[in-house]
Amino acid sequence: MSGPRTAFSVVICTRNRAHLLERSIRSVLAQEYPPSLFELIVIDNGSTDATAAVIDRSLAGAPVRVLRDLERRPGVSVARNRGAELAQHDHVAFLDDDAAAVPGWLAAYDVAVRLHGATVVGGRVEPVIAAGVQAPAWWSEWDIRGLFGLDHREPVGGRSVAEIRWPLWLGGGNCVYAKAVFQRAGGFRTDLGPTGRRRRVAEDIDLNVRLERAAVPVYYAHDAVIQHLVTADRLSRRSIWRRAYWAGRTDAATRALVTGQVKRMPVARLVRAAIRSVGKPAWTLSVCRLAYDAGYLLQSRAVTAARGSR
């Protein structure tokens, strides 16, 4: 590889996750990467818990430049856009507050930028059971574990860094954008993405599809790994059903964004899924499929209704 190593502005956006945030911050400060080549920006998206105290404690004595900012307007897209605005380096790396980056995270992104000229690149998301939590019997089932990370976690075409296109996608919680490219695209749409208790969807997929259409290559870096923490509450029946439900809504919303159409789901399919799930354990594929189908059906009808009202 030639040329100087990449300088990164790492952005962590957080809201009311004081119990998880320190792990995320510490993982950035422990990067095996020259401290002069990255900074850490923490955006507090209007937290009401002990987040401010955790930020102060975690950033004290940091070996890199650090910045904290309060963004009271709710929404992860708003917070991420604010972080990119404050970034002083040419490449902005986003990390979620419930995830920890492995020590070679930034180094893997540096390879993608310098070797491939990547201006848009995302990495692998590996779900990790929290310490002290007993992994349930179904945890080894691939289709269920996929609810906690990307739907692709293998090298694309056997390459550690490869160009991808939708339906392969990058998650907003583990990605890097050249700041100029990100700002030219208008950043994340603020009418998409989670906002407080509202689980609006597909803000990351929307941005990547817009960039694809603008002829900006999108890459996947397999070695840029983050560990998405799965706590006990996320393994409850309610949480599993909710994740499957929102996976369905996300897929319907994404199809509408990408193709302009939503594949209609017959109500009869939902009824058949409900019948198949009767008497099954809460985490089986049949029950998750029922929740997924319900989410997809409701989102597709919402899209159709919104277009009909125009």
Same-domain check for residues 138 and 266: no
Q: Which of 27-41, 131-145, 285-299 is least confident?
A: 131-145
Residues 21 and 51: beta-carbon distance below 8 Å: yes
Do 54 and 110 belong together in one domain?
yes
The answer to whether residues 136 and 265 belong to one domain is no
Looking at the fold, whether 39 and 168 belong to one and the same domain comes out as: yes
Q: Tell whether 198 and 56 lie within a shared domain.
A: yes
Indicate whether 144 and 176 sit together in one domain.
yes
Q: How many CA atoms lie within 13 A of 292 on its CB side?
A: 16
Same domain, residue pair 213 and 266 = no
Q: pLDDT tens digit string along 180-194? A: 999 999 999 998 887
Q: Are residues 300 and 187 in the same domain?
A: no
- Residue 254 to residue 261: CA distance in whole angstroms: 10
Clarify whether residues 196 and 291 are in a common domain: no
Same domain, 217 and 299: no
Confidence of residue 248 (pLDDT cuts 50, 70, 90): confident
Residues in the chain: 310
The whole model's pTM is what? 0.89
Picking from 235, 260, 284, the residue at the C-terminal end of a domain is 235
129, HSE (Cβ side, Cα atoms, 13 Å): 13
CATH number at residue 109: 3.90.550.10
Say what the pLDDT of residue 213 is: 92
Full residue range of the structural domain in which residue 225 is found: 8-235
Q: Report whether pLDDT(234) > 60.
A: yes
Q: Model confidence over 36-66: pLDDT tens digits?
A: 999 999 999 999 999 999 999 999 999 999 9
